[in-house]
Amino acid sequence: ELVGQFLSYLPFAHETWVRVETWLGDKQDSYWLKTNANPYQAEGDLSDAIDKLIEHGRPNAAINCLDRMRYAKQPINVGQCVKALLSALSSSEPSYSMDAYNIVELIKMLQENPEVTPDDLFRVEWAYLPLLDRHHGAAPKLLENRLASDPEFFCEAIRLIYRSKKTDAATNEPSEEAKAVATNAWRLLHEWRTPPGMQEDGSFNDSHFPSWLKRVKEICTESGHLEVALINIGEVLIRCPPDKSGLWINHNVADALNARDAEDMRSGYRTGIYNSRGVHWVD
């Protein structure tokens, strides 16, 4: 253990790690648990050190190393990055060791990397949703696109937040875990900026929106969530692009808002317009 402590005082660099391997063999805990893991002392690939830090319960230190590689424009193993981010959720490291900026920058990097699987990115965005807001210059891109493209996923988010009109009000108190999931779902809908029908290239799919809305109405009518679903949809529709004909609003969206049974959606649309003005004062 004294040898490991001595080695932990040396620069966090490849030469030190070679000594750790040679001198400590299979008893490297005394080094990897104590080293300050300053990535700016090292040069070149940090992948092996990152694996060791994750293995020894220091994913936040690993995240700092990964962000150093990102900043230096070095290639990053996306699987390793996902593992570090997800491992950090249950880390016993001190809270001050977590750097929100580094985490957000790594997630933004993952969002742009085609090697990342949708399932992995979904888990990462959901886990770090509180950080993926406009304040941090980030957004849960995959989750927002999933809301806009998958009516079942949108309806699931609605059910997580709102009580069904078909359910007796005297329900059991939700667990802390259920409350946390509901809070995340609310946060996702509250920050939602990608209306159904919007494509990743910024174009609008005229045929997708009506079919998406029809399916949402079917599911939420059955579950007793139609009113709140339509209000939330109305709020995000203010972000639809103009129609190709030159009309200020897409014609399919206009038709949906003008429908006789769309008062709840129109109410949400009005709320969305009001909230889009931000903070303001009236003299």
Task: Express each pLDDT in 247-260 by its tens digit.
Answer: 999 999 999 999 99
- Of all residues in the chain, what percent carry a pLDDT higher than 70? 96
- 153 and 183, same domain (yes or no): yes
pLDDT exceeds cutoff 90 at 181: yes
Within a domain: 9: no
Q: Work out the pLDDT band at 170, boundaries 50, 70, 90.
A: low
pLDDT exceeds cutoff 80 at 91: yes
**pLDDT attached to residue 169:** 60
**Mean pLDDT over residues 196-215, rounded?**
91
Within a domain: 83: yes
- 145 and 248, same domain (yes or no): yes
265 or 95: which carries more pLDDT confidence? 265
Give me the DSSP letters along 1-62. -HHHHHHHTS-SSHHHHHHHHHHHTT-THHHHTT----GGG--S--HHHHHHHHHTT-HHHH
**pLDDT attached to residue 161:** 96
**Which of 114, 136, 158 is the C-terminal boundary of a domain?**
136
- 224 and 193, same domain (yes or no): yes
Tokens at 171, concatenated: 């329900």
**pLDDT attached to residue 279:** 44
- 80 and 131, same domain (yes or no): yes
- 82 and 159, same domain (yes or no): no
Q: Is the dihedral of CA 51, 53, 55, 59 positive or negative?
A: negative
Within a domain: 24: no
Helix (H, G, I), strand (E, B) or coil at 250: coil
Q: Are the C-beta atoms of residues 262 and 255 closer than 8 Å to each other?
A: no
The count of C-alpha atoms lying within 13 angstroms of the C-alpha of 270, restricted to the half-sphere facing its C-beta, is: 6
Contacts of 4 (CB under 8 A, 6+ apart): 20, 24, 27, 28, 29, 30, 31, 34
**Which of 72, 101, 136 is the C-terminal boundary of a domain?**
136
**Which of 79, 103, 136 is the C-terminal boundary of a domain?**
136
Residue 72 CA to its chain's centroid (Å) = 24
- 105 and 218, same domain (yes or no): no
Within a domain: 258: yes
- 266 and 221, same domain (yes or no): yes
**Mean pLDDT over residues 70-99, rounded?**
95
- 145 and 124, same domain (yes or no): no
- 167 and 264, same domain (yes or no): yes
Within a domain: 189: yes
Within a domain: 11: no
Q: Work out the pLDDT band at 23, boundaries 50, 70, 90.
A: very high
Residues 110-169: tens digit of each pLDDT: 999 999 999 999 999 999 999 999 888 999 999 999 999 999 999 999 999 999 998 876
**pLDDT attached to residue 201:** 82
- 244 and 175, same domain (yes or no): yes
Residue type for position 151: P
**Mean pLDDT over residues 221-242, rounded?**
96
- 113 and 232, same domain (yes or no): no
94 or 81: which carries more pLDDT confidence? 81
Within a domain: 125: yes
**Mean pLDDT over residues 204-232, rounded?**
96
Q: Work out the pLDDT band at 282, boundaries 50, 70, 90.
A: very low
**pLDDT attached to residue 174:** 82
Number of domains forming the structure of the chain? 2
201 or 280: which carries more pLDDT confidence? 201
What's the pTM value of the predicted model, to 2 decimals? 0.90
Q: Work out the pLDDT band at 97, boundaries 50, 70, 90.
A: confident
Within a domain: 251: yes
| Domain range for 155 | 141-276
- 131 and 239, same domain (yes or no): no
Q: Work out the pLDDT band at 171, boundaries 50, 70, 90.
A: low
**pLDDT attached to residue 199:** 85
To the nearest whole number, what is the mean pLDDT of the chain? 93
pLDDT exceeds cutoff 50 at 178: yes
**Mean pLDDT over residues 37-48, rounded?**
93
